[in-house]
Structure 1
Amino acid sequence: MKFDLHTHHDRCGHAEGTIRDYIDSAVAQGLQVIGISDHSPYFAEPEEQPWPGIAMAKSEFARYVSEVLKLKEEYRGRIEVLLGVESDFFPEHIDTYAKIYEQYPFDYVIGSVHKSDGISIFNKNRWKHMKDAEKLRQKELYYDLIRQSAQSGLFQILGHIDAMKAYYPEFSGIQTAAIEETLRIIGQNKMAIEINTSGKMKDCGGWYPANDILERAHHYGVSVTFGSDAHVPGRVGDEFEEVKRLLKSIGYKEWVFFRQKQRIAVEL
Protein backbone atom coordinates (compact mmCIF):
# COMPACT_ATOMS: atom_id res chain seq x y z
CA MET A 1 0.00 0.00 0.00
CA LYS A 2 1.36 3.39 -1.00
CA PHE A 3 0.45 6.64 0.76
CA ASP A 4 1.68 10.19 1.29
CA LEU A 5 0.36 12.30 4.16
CA HIS A 6 2.23 15.56 3.66
CA THR A 7 1.30 17.71 0.68
CA HIS A 8 0.66 21.41 0.11
CA HIS A 9 -0.98 23.51 -2.60
CA ASP A 10 -1.20 27.09 -3.82
CA ARG A 11 -3.23 28.43 -0.87
CA CYS A 12 -0.16 28.64 1.35
CA GLY A 13 1.55 31.02 -1.07
CA HIS A 14 4.75 29.06 -1.65
CA ALA A 15 3.50 25.89 -3.34
CA GLU A 16 2.35 25.32 -6.91
CA GLY A 17 -0.85 23.71 -8.12
CA THR A 18 -4.34 23.02 -6.83
CA ILE A 19 -5.43 20.29 -4.43
CA ARG A 20 -6.85 18.42 -7.42
CA ASP A 21 -3.42 18.51 -9.08
CA TYR A 22 -1.87 16.71 -6.11
CA ILE A 23 -4.62 14.10 -6.02
CA ASP A 24 -4.30 13.48 -9.75
CA SER A 25 -0.55 13.08 -9.35
CA ALA A 26 -1.12 10.55 -6.57
CA VAL A 27 -3.56 8.58 -8.74
CA ALA A 28 -1.11 8.58 -11.65
CA GLN A 29 1.63 7.23 -9.40
CA GLY A 30 -0.48 4.43 -8.01
CA LEU A 31 -1.02 5.72 -4.49
CA GLN A 32 -3.96 4.30 -2.56
CA VAL A 33 -4.06 7.13 0.00
CA ILE A 34 -3.24 10.82 -0.36
CA GLY A 35 -3.30 13.27 2.53
CA ILE A 36 -3.77 17.00 1.97
CA SER A 37 -2.06 18.96 4.74
CA ASP A 38 -1.49 22.58 3.87
CA HIS A 39 -0.06 25.09 6.35
CA SER A 40 -2.56 26.33 8.89
CA PRO A 41 -3.19 30.06 9.18
CA TYR A 42 -1.54 32.00 11.99
CA PHE A 43 -4.65 31.90 14.14
CA ALA A 44 -3.15 33.75 17.12
CA GLU A 45 -2.08 36.76 15.07
CA PRO A 46 -4.47 39.72 14.78
CA GLU A 47 -4.01 40.07 11.01
CA GLU A 48 -5.99 38.07 8.48
CA GLN A 49 -2.82 36.85 6.77
CA PRO A 50 0.33 38.23 8.39
CA TRP A 51 2.74 36.31 6.13
CA PRO A 52 1.05 35.63 2.76
CA GLY A 53 3.97 33.66 1.36
CA ILE A 54 4.05 31.22 4.28
CA ALA A 55 0.51 30.22 5.23
CA MET A 56 -3.06 30.64 4.07
CA ALA A 57 -5.38 33.41 5.25
CA LYS A 58 -7.76 32.69 8.13
CA SER A 59 -10.73 33.21 5.84
CA GLU A 60 -9.43 30.48 3.52
CA PHE A 61 -9.35 27.77 6.18
CA ALA A 62 -13.02 26.74 6.03
CA ARG A 63 -12.89 26.82 2.22
CA TYR A 64 -9.78 24.62 2.32
CA VAL A 65 -11.57 22.04 4.45
CA SER A 66 -14.67 22.14 2.26
CA GLU A 67 -12.65 21.65 -0.92
CA VAL A 68 -10.80 18.63 0.48
CA LEU A 69 -14.05 17.05 1.70
CA LYS A 70 -15.68 17.61 -1.69
CA LEU A 71 -12.73 16.01 -3.49
CA LYS A 72 -12.72 13.14 -0.99
CA GLU A 73 -16.20 12.24 -2.22
CA GLU A 74 -15.43 12.88 -5.88
CA TYR A 75 -12.42 10.54 -5.87
CA ARG A 76 -14.00 7.85 -3.70
CA GLY A 77 -13.28 4.46 -5.28
CA ARG A 78 -10.19 5.75 -7.09
CA ILE A 79 -8.08 6.94 -4.16
CA GLU A 80 -8.71 7.70 -0.51
CA VAL A 81 -8.31 11.42 0.15
CA LEU A 82 -7.55 12.35 3.75
CA LEU A 83 -8.15 15.73 5.35
CA GLY A 84 -5.08 16.91 7.21
CA VAL A 85 -3.34 20.11 8.13
CA GLU A 86 0.23 21.02 8.99
CA SER A 87 0.01 23.06 12.13
CA ASP A 88 2.67 25.31 13.55
CA PHE A 89 3.34 24.61 17.21
CA PHE A 90 3.28 27.60 19.50
CA PRO A 91 2.93 26.38 23.12
CA GLU A 92 1.50 29.70 24.27
CA HIS A 93 -1.32 29.44 21.70
CA ILE A 94 -2.13 25.74 21.89
CA ASP A 95 -5.68 26.31 23.16
CA THR A 96 -6.47 28.74 20.34
CA TYR A 97 -5.44 26.21 17.71
CA ALA A 98 -7.17 23.30 19.47
CA LYS A 99 -10.52 25.10 19.60
CA ILE A 100 -10.39 25.81 15.87
CA TYR A 101 -9.28 22.31 14.82
CA GLU A 102 -12.02 20.61 16.82
CA GLN A 103 -14.59 22.29 14.58
CA TYR A 104 -13.48 20.25 11.55
CA PRO A 105 -13.34 16.51 10.74
CA PHE A 106 -9.58 16.17 10.37
CA ASP A 107 -8.16 12.75 9.73
CA TYR A 108 -4.89 13.92 11.25
CA VAL A 109 -2.95 17.00 12.26
CA ILE A 110 0.80 17.28 11.68
CA GLY A 111 2.56 19.29 14.37
CA SER A 112 5.64 21.07 13.06
CA VAL A 113 8.06 23.41 14.77
CA HIS A 114 8.91 26.11 12.23
CA LYS A 115 10.02 28.79 14.70
CA SER A 116 12.38 28.37 17.62
CA ASP A 117 13.49 31.16 19.94
CA GLY A 118 11.29 33.42 17.82
CA ILE A 119 13.22 32.82 14.59
CA SER A 120 12.42 30.61 11.61
CA ILE A 121 14.35 27.36 11.76
CA PHE A 122 15.06 27.88 8.04
CA ASN A 123 16.72 31.26 8.58
CA LYS A 124 20.22 30.82 7.17
CA ASN A 125 21.55 33.78 9.13
CA ARG A 126 20.66 32.59 12.62
CA TRP A 127 23.90 30.60 12.90
CA LYS A 128 26.29 33.34 11.81
CA HIS A 129 28.93 34.31 14.39
CA MET A 130 27.32 31.99 16.94
CA LYS A 131 29.58 30.34 19.51
CA ASP A 132 29.39 26.60 20.15
CA ALA A 133 27.64 26.98 23.50
CA GLU A 134 24.89 29.04 21.91
CA LYS A 135 24.53 26.54 19.06
CA LEU A 136 23.98 23.82 21.65
CA ARG A 137 21.41 25.97 23.45
CA GLN A 138 19.54 26.59 20.22
CA LYS A 139 19.41 22.89 19.41
CA GLU A 140 18.13 22.07 22.88
CA LEU A 141 15.47 24.80 22.67
CA TYR A 142 14.30 23.33 19.37
CA TYR A 143 13.98 19.81 20.77
CA ASP A 144 12.26 21.12 23.89
CA LEU A 145 9.55 22.52 21.60
CA ILE A 146 9.24 19.17 19.84
CA ARG A 147 8.87 17.42 23.20
CA GLN A 148 6.16 19.86 24.19
CA SER A 149 4.37 19.29 20.89
CA ALA A 150 4.44 15.53 21.51
CA GLN A 151 2.86 16.05 24.92
CA SER A 152 0.25 18.58 23.76
CA GLY A 153 -2.38 16.05 22.69
CA LEU A 154 -3.16 18.09 19.58
CA PHE A 155 -1.28 16.11 16.95
CA GLN A 156 -1.16 12.62 15.49
CA ILE A 157 2.10 13.17 13.58
CA LEU A 158 5.19 15.25 14.26
CA GLY A 159 6.67 16.82 11.14
CA HIS A 160 10.32 16.87 10.02
CA ILE A 161 11.85 16.57 13.50
CA ASP A 162 15.38 17.58 12.51
CA ALA A 163 14.53 20.17 9.85
CA MET A 164 16.59 22.81 11.63
CA LYS A 165 19.52 21.28 9.73
CA ALA A 166 17.98 22.33 6.39
CA TYR A 167 20.30 25.26 5.70
CA TYR A 168 22.85 24.43 8.38
CA PRO A 169 23.97 20.82 7.89
CA GLU A 170 26.39 21.17 10.80
CA PHE A 171 23.32 21.15 13.06
CA SER A 172 23.35 17.35 12.97
CA GLY A 173 26.82 17.25 14.50
CA ILE A 174 25.91 19.27 17.60
CA GLN A 175 25.99 16.64 20.33
CA THR A 176 23.20 16.66 22.92
CA ALA A 177 21.11 14.18 24.88
CA ALA A 178 18.04 16.24 23.95
CA ILE A 179 17.34 14.11 20.87
CA GLU A 180 17.34 10.88 22.87
CA GLU A 181 15.01 12.35 25.48
CA THR A 182 12.73 13.73 22.76
CA LEU A 183 12.40 10.33 21.09
CA ARG A 184 11.65 8.73 24.45
CA ILE A 185 8.85 11.24 25.08
CA ILE A 186 7.47 10.77 21.56
CA GLY A 187 7.37 7.01 22.11
CA GLN A 188 5.72 7.38 25.52
CA ASN A 189 3.01 9.55 24.00
CA LYS A 190 2.44 7.10 21.13
CA MET A 191 3.09 9.72 18.49
CA ALA A 192 4.13 9.05 14.92
CA ILE A 193 6.98 10.87 13.22
CA GLU A 194 7.17 11.33 9.49
CA ILE A 195 10.00 10.44 7.20
CA ASN A 196 9.92 13.60 5.14
CA THR A 197 11.78 13.43 1.84
CA SER A 198 11.89 17.18 1.20
CA GLY A 199 15.27 17.52 2.89
CA LYS A 200 16.78 16.62 -0.47
CA MET A 201 15.67 20.04 -1.68
CA LYS A 202 17.69 21.88 1.00
CA ASP A 203 21.40 22.35 1.70
CA CYS A 204 21.45 19.39 4.09
CA GLY A 205 20.31 16.88 1.45
CA GLY A 206 18.70 13.58 2.40
CA TRP A 207 15.59 13.15 4.50
CA TYR A 208 14.16 14.35 7.80
CA PRO A 209 15.02 12.82 10.19
CA ALA A 210 18.51 11.43 9.61
CA ASN A 211 19.03 7.67 9.67
CA ASP A 212 20.62 7.62 13.13
CA ILE A 213 17.54 9.34 14.57
CA LEU A 214 15.28 6.79 12.88
CA GLU A 215 17.32 3.99 14.43
CA ARG A 216 16.90 5.48 17.91
CA ALA A 217 13.21 6.12 17.21
CA HIS A 218 12.80 2.42 16.50
CA HIS A 219 14.47 1.64 19.85
CA TYR A 220 11.87 3.76 21.65
CA GLY A 221 8.92 2.25 19.78
CA VAL A 222 8.12 5.40 17.83
CA SER A 223 5.69 4.85 14.95
CA VAL A 224 6.62 6.23 11.55
CA THR A 225 4.73 7.50 8.55
CA PHE A 226 5.60 8.91 5.13
CA GLY A 227 5.36 12.46 3.83
CA SER A 228 6.91 13.93 0.72
CA ASP A 229 6.14 17.49 1.87
CA ALA A 230 5.39 18.11 -1.80
CA HIS A 231 5.08 21.73 -2.86
CA VAL A 232 4.75 20.77 -6.52
CA PRO A 233 2.46 17.94 -7.70
CA GLY A 234 5.32 16.00 -9.28
CA ARG A 235 6.88 15.32 -5.87
CA VAL A 236 3.91 13.38 -4.47
CA GLY A 237 5.18 10.02 -3.20
CA ASP A 238 8.79 11.05 -3.89
CA GLU A 239 11.21 8.29 -2.78
CA PHE A 240 8.50 6.24 -1.07
CA GLU A 241 10.08 2.92 -2.02
CA GLU A 242 13.56 4.04 -0.94
CA VAL A 243 12.22 5.05 2.48
CA LYS A 244 10.39 1.75 2.77
CA ARG A 245 13.62 -0.17 2.14
CA LEU A 246 15.51 1.86 4.72
CA LEU A 247 12.87 1.28 7.39
CA LYS A 248 12.97 -2.46 6.76
CA SER A 249 16.74 -2.44 7.12
CA ILE A 250 16.43 -0.67 10.49
CA GLY A 251 13.96 -3.29 11.71
CA TYR A 252 10.59 -1.63 11.29
CA LYS A 253 7.78 -4.04 10.39
CA GLU A 254 5.06 -1.46 9.72
CA TRP A 255 4.29 2.19 9.27
CA VAL A 256 1.05 4.05 9.78
CA PHE A 257 -1.43 6.54 8.43
CA PHE A 258 -4.47 8.08 10.12
CA ARG A 259 -8.13 7.99 9.27
CA GLN A 260 -10.48 9.99 11.52
CA LYS A 261 -7.47 10.28 13.87
CA GLN A 262 -7.32 6.50 14.22
CA ARG A 263 -3.98 4.85 13.55
CA ILE A 264 -4.00 2.44 10.59
CA ALA A 265 -0.97 0.14 10.45
CA VAL A 266 0.43 -0.86 7.05
CA GLU A 267 2.89 -3.71 6.70
CA LEU A 268 6.21 -2.68 5.19
Structure 2
Amino acid sequence: MKFDFHTHHERCGHAEGTIEDYIRSAIEQRLDMIGISDHSPYFGDEEDHPHPEVAMAKSEFPNYVEEVLRLKKKYEGQIEVLLGVESDFFPEHAETYRKVYECYPFDYIIGSVHRSDHISIFNKNRWKNLTKKAQQEQKERYYALIAESAKSGMFDILGHIDAMKANYPAFSDIQTEAVDRTLQVISEYDIAIEVNTSGKTKLAGGWYPSDEILERALFYGVKVTFGSDAHVPSRVGDEWEQVRQRLREIGYKEWAYFRQRKRYLTSL
Protein backbone atom coordinates (compact mmCIF):
# COMPACT_ATOMS: atom_id res chain seq x y z
CA MET A 1 0.00 0.00 0.00
CA LYS A 2 1.40 3.36 -1.07
CA PHE A 3 0.28 6.55 0.69
CA ASP A 4 1.17 10.14 1.52
CA PHE A 5 -0.55 11.78 4.48
CA HIS A 6 1.05 15.22 4.43
CA THR A 7 0.13 17.56 1.56
CA HIS A 8 -0.87 21.20 1.28
CA HIS A 9 -2.43 23.44 -1.35
CA GLU A 10 -2.97 27.09 -2.23
CA ARG A 11 -5.27 27.96 0.69
CA CYS A 12 -2.37 28.15 3.14
CA GLY A 13 -0.79 30.99 1.16
CA HIS A 14 2.64 29.42 0.66
CA ALA A 15 1.85 26.34 -1.43
CA GLU A 16 0.99 26.02 -5.11
CA GLY A 17 -1.92 24.29 -6.76
CA THR A 18 -5.43 23.15 -5.93
CA ILE A 19 -6.41 20.12 -3.88
CA GLU A 20 -7.38 18.38 -7.11
CA ASP A 21 -3.89 19.00 -8.51
CA TYR A 22 -2.41 17.03 -5.59
CA ILE A 23 -4.91 14.21 -6.05
CA ARG A 24 -4.11 13.94 -9.75
CA SER A 25 -0.39 13.91 -8.96
CA ALA A 26 -0.99 11.11 -6.46
CA ILE A 27 -2.80 9.10 -9.13
CA GLU A 28 0.13 9.64 -11.51
CA GLN A 29 2.47 8.38 -8.77
CA ARG A 30 0.22 5.33 -8.35
CA LEU A 31 -0.59 6.02 -4.74
CA ASP A 32 -3.39 4.05 -3.12
CA MET A 33 -4.19 6.80 -0.59
CA ILE A 34 -3.64 10.55 -0.59
CA GLY A 35 -4.22 12.62 2.52
CA ILE A 36 -4.94 16.33 2.25
CA SER A 37 -3.67 18.09 5.36
CA ASP A 38 -3.38 21.82 4.86
CA HIS A 39 -2.32 24.15 7.68
CA SER A 40 -5.02 24.82 10.24
CA PRO A 41 -6.30 28.36 10.66
CA TYR A 42 -5.17 30.26 13.75
CA PHE A 43 -8.25 29.39 15.77
CA GLY A 44 -6.84 31.04 18.88
CA ASP A 45 -6.60 34.43 17.20
CA GLU A 46 -9.47 36.91 17.17
CA GLU A 47 -8.84 37.83 13.53
CA ASP A 48 -10.25 35.69 10.75
CA HIS A 49 -7.01 35.61 8.76
CA PRO A 50 -4.07 36.96 10.79
CA HIS A 51 -1.32 35.20 8.81
CA PRO A 52 -2.39 34.90 5.15
CA GLU A 53 0.99 33.54 3.99
CA VAL A 54 1.08 30.85 6.69
CA ALA A 55 -2.42 29.36 7.03
CA MET A 56 -5.95 29.62 5.71
CA ALA A 57 -8.62 31.90 7.16
CA LYS A 58 -10.97 30.53 9.81
CA SER A 59 -13.91 31.33 7.54
CA GLU A 60 -12.35 29.19 4.81
CA PHE A 61 -12.03 26.05 6.91
CA PRO A 62 -15.56 24.67 6.25
CA ASN A 63 -14.98 25.18 2.51
CA TYR A 64 -11.71 23.26 2.76
CA VAL A 65 -13.43 20.32 4.44
CA GLU A 66 -16.33 20.39 1.96
CA GLU A 67 -13.95 20.39 -1.02
CA VAL A 68 -11.93 17.43 0.25
CA LEU A 69 -15.11 15.43 0.93
CA ARG A 70 -16.46 16.27 -2.52
CA LEU A 71 -13.23 15.16 -4.19
CA LYS A 72 -13.19 12.01 -2.07
CA LYS A 73 -16.45 11.03 -3.76
CA LYS A 74 -15.34 12.20 -7.20
CA TYR A 75 -12.19 10.06 -7.21
CA GLU A 76 -13.65 7.03 -5.49
CA GLY A 77 -12.47 3.96 -7.37
CA GLN A 78 -9.33 5.72 -8.62
CA ILE A 79 -7.69 6.64 -5.33
CA GLU A 80 -8.73 6.92 -1.70
CA VAL A 81 -8.78 10.59 -0.67
CA LEU A 82 -8.50 11.25 3.06
CA LEU A 83 -9.52 14.32 5.02
CA GLY A 84 -6.74 15.55 7.26
CA VAL A 85 -5.32 18.74 8.66
CA GLU A 86 -1.91 19.81 9.90
CA SER A 87 -2.75 21.45 13.16
CA ASP A 88 -0.54 23.90 14.98
CA PHE A 89 -0.11 23.07 18.64
CA PHE A 90 -0.50 25.96 21.03
CA PRO A 91 -1.10 24.64 24.57
CA GLU A 92 -3.00 27.76 25.60
CA HIS A 93 -5.49 27.28 22.73
CA ALA A 94 -5.63 23.48 22.62
CA GLU A 95 -9.25 23.22 23.77
CA THR A 96 -10.38 25.76 21.18
CA TYR A 97 -8.77 23.69 18.42
CA ARG A 98 -10.14 20.46 19.85
CA LYS A 99 -13.72 21.76 19.79
CA VAL A 100 -13.39 22.87 16.17
CA TYR A 101 -12.01 19.53 15.02
CA GLU A 102 -14.79 17.61 16.73
CA CYS A 103 -17.23 19.16 14.24
CA TYR A 104 -15.66 17.51 11.19
CA PRO A 105 -15.18 13.91 9.94
CA PHE A 106 -11.39 13.84 9.84
CA ASP A 107 -9.55 10.66 8.90
CA TYR A 108 -6.49 11.87 10.82
CA ILE A 109 -4.95 14.99 12.34
CA ILE A 110 -1.25 15.87 12.24
CA GLY A 111 0.00 17.83 15.24
CA SER A 112 3.00 20.04 14.50
CA VAL A 113 4.99 22.49 16.59
CA HIS A 114 5.90 25.43 14.35
CA ARG A 115 6.60 28.02 17.03
CA SER A 116 8.57 27.88 20.25
CA ASP A 117 8.97 30.87 22.58
CA HIS A 118 6.65 32.68 20.11
CA ILE A 119 9.30 32.43 17.35
CA SER A 120 9.14 30.28 14.23
CA ILE A 121 11.23 27.15 14.55
CA PHE A 122 12.47 27.87 11.01
CA ASN A 123 13.89 31.30 11.95
CA LYS A 124 17.67 30.79 11.88
CA ASN A 125 18.22 34.15 13.55
CA ARG A 126 16.86 32.76 16.83
CA TRP A 127 20.20 30.99 17.30
CA LYS A 128 22.41 34.06 17.00
CA ASN A 129 24.70 34.76 19.95
CA LEU A 130 23.26 31.97 22.10
CA THR A 131 25.54 30.16 24.52
CA LYS A 132 25.68 26.37 24.42
CA LYS A 133 23.51 26.28 27.52
CA ALA A 134 20.94 28.61 25.95
CA GLN A 135 20.89 26.48 22.80
CA GLN A 136 20.27 23.39 24.89
CA GLU A 137 17.41 25.16 26.68
CA GLN A 138 15.87 26.12 23.32
CA LYS A 139 15.98 22.52 22.15
CA GLU A 140 14.52 21.24 25.40
CA ARG A 141 11.62 23.70 25.28
CA TYR A 142 10.88 22.64 21.71
CA TYR A 143 10.76 18.98 22.67
CA ALA A 144 8.71 19.76 25.77
CA LEU A 145 6.06 21.20 23.42
CA ILE A 146 6.17 18.09 21.23
CA ALA A 147 5.77 15.88 24.29
CA GLU A 148 2.85 18.01 25.45
CA SER A 149 1.24 17.68 22.02
CA ALA A 150 1.48 13.91 22.33
CA LYS A 151 -0.14 14.00 25.76
CA SER A 152 -3.00 16.18 24.50
CA GLY A 153 -4.69 13.25 22.76
CA MET A 154 -5.64 15.53 19.87
CA PHE A 155 -3.43 14.01 17.19
CA ASP A 156 -2.95 10.81 15.23
CA ILE A 157 0.44 11.81 13.79
CA LEU A 158 3.15 14.14 15.07
CA GLY A 159 4.69 16.16 12.26
CA HIS A 160 8.40 16.64 11.49
CA ILE A 161 9.66 16.15 15.06
CA ASP A 162 13.13 17.59 14.45
CA ALA A 163 12.21 20.33 11.96
CA MET A 164 13.92 22.93 14.13
CA LYS A 165 17.10 21.81 12.33
CA ALA A 166 15.64 22.94 8.98
CA ASN A 167 17.56 26.20 8.68
CA TYR A 168 20.05 25.49 11.47
CA PRO A 169 21.63 22.07 10.85
CA ALA A 170 23.77 22.37 14.02
CA PHE A 171 20.54 21.84 15.97
CA SER A 172 21.06 18.09 15.60
CA ASP A 173 24.40 18.33 17.41
CA ILE A 174 22.99 19.99 20.54
CA GLN A 175 23.24 17.35 23.23
CA THR A 176 20.23 16.76 25.47
CA GLU A 177 18.20 13.86 26.80
CA ALA A 178 15.01 15.70 25.83
CA VAL A 179 14.71 13.81 22.54
CA ASP A 180 14.68 10.42 24.27
CA ARG A 181 12.29 11.65 26.94
CA THR A 182 9.93 12.91 24.25
CA LEU A 183 10.09 9.65 22.29
CA GLN A 184 9.19 7.79 25.47
CA VAL A 185 6.14 10.03 25.90
CA ILE A 186 5.13 9.55 22.25
CA SER A 187 5.37 5.80 22.75
CA GLU A 188 3.40 5.90 26.00
CA TYR A 189 0.57 7.84 24.38
CA ASP A 190 0.81 5.68 21.24
CA ILE A 191 1.03 8.45 18.64
CA ALA A 192 2.68 7.84 15.27
CA ILE A 193 5.43 10.06 13.91
CA GLU A 194 5.92 10.81 10.24
CA VAL A 195 9.00 10.44 8.11
CA ASN A 196 8.76 13.77 6.33
CA THR A 197 10.83 14.20 3.17
CA SER A 198 10.52 17.99 2.91
CA GLY A 199 13.76 18.59 4.81
CA LYS A 200 15.52 18.33 1.44
CA THR A 201 14.05 21.75 0.60
CA LYS A 202 15.76 23.39 3.62
CA LEU A 203 19.37 24.03 4.64
CA ALA A 204 19.50 20.84 6.68
CA GLY A 205 18.68 18.61 3.71
CA GLY A 206 17.51 15.05 4.25
CA TRP A 207 14.40 13.97 6.11
CA TYR A 208 12.65 14.69 9.38
CA PRO A 209 13.46 13.04 11.69
CA SER A 210 17.08 11.97 11.38
CA ASP A 211 18.05 8.31 11.14
CA GLU A 212 19.39 8.53 14.68
CA ILE A 213 16.00 9.63 16.00
CA LEU A 214 14.23 6.96 13.95
CA GLU A 215 16.50 4.33 15.49
CA ARG A 216 15.66 5.59 18.98
CA ALA A 217 11.96 5.73 18.08
CA LEU A 218 12.09 2.07 17.05
CA PHE A 219 13.77 1.22 20.35
CA TYR A 220 10.86 2.80 22.23
CA GLY A 221 8.22 1.20 19.99
CA VAL A 222 7.03 4.38 18.28
CA LYS A 223 4.97 3.80 15.13
CA VAL A 224 5.88 5.60 11.90
CA THR A 225 4.11 6.77 8.76
CA PHE A 226 4.98 8.74 5.62
CA GLY A 227 4.38 12.34 4.57
CA SER A 228 6.04 14.30 1.78
CA ASP A 229 4.85 17.65 3.17
CA ALA A 230 4.33 18.60 -0.47
CA HIS A 231 3.75 22.28 -1.15
CA VAL A 232 3.82 21.70 -4.91
CA PRO A 233 1.93 18.85 -6.61
CA SER A 234 5.08 17.36 -8.13
CA ARG A 235 6.40 16.43 -4.66
CA VAL A 236 3.50 14.13 -3.76
CA GLY A 237 4.95 10.78 -2.70
CA ASP A 238 8.48 12.18 -3.01
CA GLU A 239 11.09 9.56 -1.98
CA TRP A 240 8.44 7.14 -0.69
CA GLU A 241 10.35 4.10 -1.86
CA GLN A 242 13.66 5.35 -0.41
CA VAL A 243 11.98 5.93 2.95
CA ARG A 244 10.44 2.47 2.89
CA GLN A 245 13.80 0.88 2.20
CA ARG A 246 15.59 2.92 4.87
CA LEU A 247 13.00 2.07 7.50
CA ARG A 248 13.48 -1.61 6.73
CA GLU A 249 17.25 -1.19 7.09
CA ILE A 250 16.77 0.46 10.48
CA GLY A 251 14.63 -2.46 11.58
CA TYR A 252 11.01 -1.42 11.14
CA LYS A 253 8.63 -4.09 9.91
CA GLU A 254 5.47 -2.02 9.37
CA TRP A 255 4.13 1.50 9.13
CA ALA A 256 0.81 3.18 9.72
CA TYR A 257 -2.10 4.43 7.69
CA PHE A 258 -5.35 6.01 8.86
CA ARG A 259 -9.07 6.11 8.26
CA GLN A 260 -11.78 7.82 10.35
CA ARG A 261 -9.32 8.54 13.19
CA LYS A 262 -8.33 4.87 13.42
CA ARG A 263 -4.79 3.64 12.85
CA TYR A 264 -3.94 0.53 10.88
CA LEU A 265 -0.56 -1.08 10.25
CA THR A 266 0.71 -2.50 6.98
CA SER A 267 3.91 -4.34 6.17
CA LEU A 268 6.88 -2.42 4.83
**Structure 1 length normalisation: TM-score?**
1.00
Residue 156 of structure 1 corresponds to which residue in structure 2?
156
Aligned partner of residue 194 in structure 2, secondary structure: strand
Residue 129 of structure 1 corresponds to which residue in structure 2?
129
**Does structure 1 residue 91 correspond to structure 2 residue 99?**
no
Cα distance in 2 between the residues matched to 1:31 and 1:21: 14
> How far did residue 257 of structure 1 move?
1.1
Residue 257 of structure 1 corresponds to which residue in structure 2?
257
Residue 142 of structure 1 corresponds to which residue in structure 2?
142
Residue 19 of structure 2 corresponds to which residue in structure 1?
19
> How far did residue 110 of structure 1 move?
0.2
> Partner letter of residue 40 of structure 2?
S
> How far did residue 5 of structure 1 move?
0.1
> Partner letter of residue 183 of structure 1?
L
> Partner letter of residue 165 of structure 1?
K
Aligned residues: 268
Q: How does 1:1-268 map to 2 (within 5 A)?
A: 1-268=1-268
Aligned partner of residue 180 in structure 2, secondary structure: helix
Aligned partner of residue 263 in structure 1, secondary structure: strand
> Partner letter of residue 262 of structure 2?
Q
Runs of 4+ in 1 over 4 A off after TM superposition: none
> Partner letter of residue 161 of structure 1?
I
Aligned partner of residue 256 in structure 1, secondary structure: strand
> Partner letter of residue 258 of structure 1?
F
CA RMSD of aligned residues (A): 0.4
- What do the CA deviations read for 1:203-247 (whole angstroms, capped 9, x no partner)? 000000000000000001100000000000000000000000010
Aligned partner of residue 258 in structure 1, secondary structure: strand
Structure 1, gaps ≥5 residues long: none
> Partner letter of residue 69 of structure 2?
L
Aligned partner of residue 139 in structure 1, secondary structure: helix
Cα distance in 2 between the residues matched to 1:80 and 1:9: 18
Cα distance in 2 between the residues matched to 1:258 and 1:155: 12
**Structure 2 length normalisation: TM-score?**
1.00
Cα distance in 2 between the residues matched to 1:27 and 1:74: 13
Cα distance in 1 between the residues matched to 2:266 and 2:66: 28
> How far did residue 131 of structure 1 move?
1.0
Cα distance in 1 between the residues matched to 2:230 and 2:74: 22
> How far did residue 129 of structure 1 move?
1.0
> Partner letter of residue 169 of structure 2?
P
> Partner letter of residue 29 of structure 2?
Q
Cα distance in 1 between the residues matched to 2:242 and 2:256: 16
- What do the CA deviations read for 1:18-53 (whole angstroms, capped 9, x no partner)? 000000000001000000000000001011110100
- What do the CA deviations read for 1:100-138 (whole angstroms, capped 9, x no partner)? 000000000000000001100011210111111110000
> How far did residue 264 of structure 1 move?
1.5
Cα distance in 2 between the residues matched to 1:238 and 1:252: 20
Cα distance in 1 between the residues matched to 2:134 and 2:216: 25
Structure 2, gaps ≥5 residues long: none
Cα distance in 2 between the residues matched to 1:250 and 1:222: 13
Cα distance in 2 between the residues matched to 1:239 and 1:116: 29
